[in-house]
Amino acid sequence: MRPYAYQWLAEFMRRNILLAVLIALVAAATAVWAFLNVQTTVREARRNYLESLLAVQGEMVHAWIVERQADATLWADDSEVAALVSGLVGSRHHASAAAQRRHDAFRQRLAPALEDRNLAVANVVDAQGVLIASMIPEYVGRKLKPAVWHRLKRALEGESIFVGPLFEQDRLDGALVAHADQALVWFAAPVHDKTGRVVAVLCLGRHAASRFADLFEITHPGKTGEAYAFDAAGRMLSHSRFEKQLIERGQFAAGQRALGRLMLRPPDEDQGIRTGDDQPTRLVAQALRAGAAATDAQGIILEPYRNYLGEPVIGAWRWLARHELGIAVEISEAESYKPIAILNTHLLILMLTLAVALFLGPTLPAILWRRVVPVKSGQRVGAYRLDRKIGEGGMADVFLGTHERLGRRAAVKVVKGGLREEMHQRFEREARLMASLRHADIAAVFEIGNVEDGRPYYAMEYFEGESLDRVVVRDGPLDERRACRILIRVCGILQYVCDQGIVHRDTKPENILLSADAAGDLDVKLIDFGLAKSRDPADHDRLTQEVNLLGTLGYLAPERMRDPSDADIRGEVYAVGALGYFLLTGQEWVPSLERTGGEEAPSVGSRRPLDTSGLEAVIARAMRHRKDARWASCREMATALAVCMEAAASNGV
C-alpha cells in the first residue's frame, strides 16, 4: 500500500505546479527563519562564552592583586619598618651616618621579603615623591616621575595601591642601575608613625613577566583566542599569544616580549614600539572611553573588528578604574562564527536532505533513528541485559544489568544519545582510568564497548549502597565514630589513587556510596572519575584541559579557584575535610566568591559540639585556605583520624 501512496503523491505534485511552488516558498521561508534563529543563538552563545571567560579572568586578577596588596600592608605595618621609615622621614640629611644605619637596617629587614615573596625591589617614598630608602642604594634621593607619583600618592590617604606594569625609566629620573629592561608591578601601602599619621609610602615591586603576566596565560579560548591586560595609554601589559608573528613582522627584536612594548592598534601603518600616537583597536578605544569616567565598566563587541594583528575578532573587556587597568578576551571571527558560515554555505543542501529524509526516512536503517532514542530497560547492551534504571547523570544513564551467559550483575553506564563526540571520548577516558585502578573500594570495570548506534558504554561492579548525601539528608548528621570510619576509608582510596599518578578532583558525597551489614561493618565505594586527571604530563590532552575549571564548589580547594591547573594530593585533603564537615554538621560550607583574602572555613564546633577529642582540629586543618597549612597527604590525615578514634575509645566516647 505504501508504494502506491508514494506514486500517487508524486503524480499529484507533478500536476499541481502551483502547490509545489507554494511548498517551495514555505520551505525557503522556513530555511531563512532557521538561519536567523541559529545566527541569533550562536551570537548569544558567544556572548555568554566571552562573559564567562572575562569573569574568570577578572576574578583571578582581582584575587592576585588583593593578596599582594595585603602583603604590602603587612610589611608597611611592621613595627620595625615603621620605626625605621619614621626616622628617615625626620632626617634632613640622607647621607648622614645615622641615616645610613637606618638604610642598612631597612634593607636587612626587607631582605627576607625579596626571597620569600618573590620581590624584585622595595623602596620608601616620602610625601614629596622622593625615595628616602631603597634596596638599591643608588636610587635614594631620586624623585618619582609625576605621572607615577600621582597614582602612588593616594597611599598617603591610607589606601593600598596597585600600579603597573612599569619600566624603570618610566618611573624614575636619572640613570638606571637595575631592572633596566624589565617591567615591574608595584604594590604601595601607607606607613604610619606612632601617632597613626601617614608619613611615607612603602612600595614593593614584582617582576610582571613572571607573575602578573602568567595570570593571562591560563585563559586562551580556542585555537585563536587570547586574554591580555592594557593600560590607559592602550599599551599591552601582558604577554601576547602571537609574539612569534610579531617578531617575524619586525615589530620586536629577538628576545623582546610584548609586555609594555606593544601598542594595541590595527597595523594600518608602521607600528612603532612603545608609542601611542595612532588610534587603538575598537575594543581598547571603547574601554578607554568608559574608563575616562573613572568608574568600573565592561562591554562585549560581537561585531568583528581588527585586532593588533589586523585579524577580524570579537571580544569582551573590563576596565578596573581603581587600578587603571583593562582586561580583554578576544577570539577570531572565523572560529567564533564558524557554525554560521557552515550553515550559510550548506543551507540548501540541508533543506534538500531534510526533504529526502521525510519521504525516505521509514526505509532507512533503524540505526540512524536510534541515535536520539535513549536506551531503555529490557534492551541488550553488549553481553548484558538491562534490568532497570538505577541512576542518571548529565552525560550518561546507569542501569542494573545481568550478564546473559555468566549471570553476573553489573552496573552498566551508557552515554546518552545526541551528545558530541568529545563527550564520548571523555566517557571512554573515565572508563580507562577506572580500569587501571585495583582497589577494593573503587568499582572494578568489567568491560567497555559500544551499543549498536556507536555510543560507548562500560560495565562495572554493582554495589548495593546509598550515596552519602542521601544518607545525611535522610538520617541527619552522622555520629562521630561512624563519620571517622568513613573518612579514613575515603582517605585510603584517594591516597591510593594519587599514588597511581591520578588526582580524582571530584570527591563529594554524591560520588561516595555506603552500605553496612547486619554487624554494622561499613563498606565504601568511590565512583565517577569523569573529572580525574593524570599527573603524568604525557597523558594531558585537550579533554583534561577543558575540565580544569570544573568541580563542586563546596569541595573545591581554594588554589584550584585561583589556578585551575593546581591540583594535587592537598586538594584532595581539602575535599575530605569538606566531606567531614558535611557528614558531621549536615551542611556544606561554600566560600564567598567575592572575598578573595583567604577566607577560612568555620569550625565544626560552631555548628555542632564534638565529643571526640582532636576531631575538630583534624577537619579544620584539612580545610585550611593555604594548602601548605593542610595535612601533607590523605595518609597523614587518616592517621590523625585514627588517633582521634583510639582516644575516644579509651575515654569511652
What CATH number did the domain enclosing 191 receive? 3.30.450.20
For residues 438 and 294, state if they share a domain.
no
Indicate whether 11 belongs to any domain.
no
- Decide if pLDDT at 76 tops 80: yes
Tell me which of 364, 392, 420 is where a domain ends.
364
Indicate whether 28 belongs to any domain.
no
Mean pLDDT of 418-424: 79
For residues 44 and 163, state if they share a domain.
no
- Decide if pLDDT at 379 tops 80: yes
For residues 42 and 105, state if they share a domain.
no
| Confidence bin at 312 (pLDDT 50/70/90) | very high
Indicate whether 23 belongs to any domain.
no
For residues 497 and 444, state if they share a domain.
no
C-beta of residue 259 within 8 angstroms of C-beta of residue 216: no
C-beta of residue 367 within 8 angstroms of C-beta of residue 453: yes
Question: Which is more confident, 283 or 28?
Answer: 283
For residues 629 and 563, state if they share a domain.
yes
For residues 319 and 262, state if they share a domain.
yes
Going from the C-alpha of 533 to that of each of 413, 501, 517, 548, the distances in angstroms are 20, 9, 33, 9
Residue 543 confidence (pLDDT): 45
Indicate whether 24 belongs to any domain.
no
Of 263-267, 367-371, 527-531, which range is least confident? 367-371
For residues 294 and 388, state if they share a domain.
no
| Confidence bin at 204 (pLDDT 50/70/90) | very high
| Confidence bin at 368 (pLDDT 50/70/90) | very low
For residues 71 and 90, state if they share a domain.
no
Indicate whether 19 belongs to any domain.
no
Mean pLDDT of 539-543: 50
For residues 145 and 244, state if they share a domain.
no
Residue 364 confidence (pLDDT): 44
Residue 570 CA, distance from chain mean position = 18
What are the tens digits of pLDDT across the range 615-651?
A: 999 999 999 989 899 999 999 999 999 999 888 777 7
Question: Which is more confident, 40 or 352?
Answer: 40
**What CATH number does the domain containing 231 carry?**
3.30.450
Question: Which is more confident, 9 or 149?
Answer: 149
For residues 141 and 111, state if they share a domain.
yes
Range of the domain at 389: 373-461
**What CATH number does the domain containing 405 carry?**
3.30.200.20
Tell me which of 420, 443, 461 is where a domain ends.
461
Active site residue 506: yes
What are the tens digits of pLDDT across the range 119-147?
A: 888 999 999 999 998 888 888 888 999 98
Residue 227 confidence (pLDDT): 93
Indicate whether 355 belongs to any domain.
yes
CA distance 383 to 140: 81
**What CATH number does the domain containing 611 carry?**
1.10.510.10
Tell me which of 298, 330, 364 is where a domain ends.
364
pTM of the model: 0.49
Q: Express the helix, strand and coil content of the chain in percent, nearest 5 each.
A: 45, 20, 35
- Decide if pLDDT at 414 tops 80: yes
| Confidence bin at 366 (pLDDT 50/70/90) | very low
- Decide if pLDDT at 458 tops 60: yes
Domain count, the chain: 4
> Residue 4 is which amino acid?
Y
Residue 359 confidence (pLDDT): 52
For residues 128 and 188, state if they share a domain.
yes
The maximal CA–CA distance of the chain, rounded, in angstroms, is 113
For residues 641 and 562, state if they share a domain.
yes
Pick the catalytic residue from 71, 231, 397, 506: 506
What are the tens digits of pLDDT across the range 207-266?
A: 888 788 888 888 778 888 999 999 988 999 999 998 888 888 878 788 788 888 889 988
CA distance 43 to 46: 5
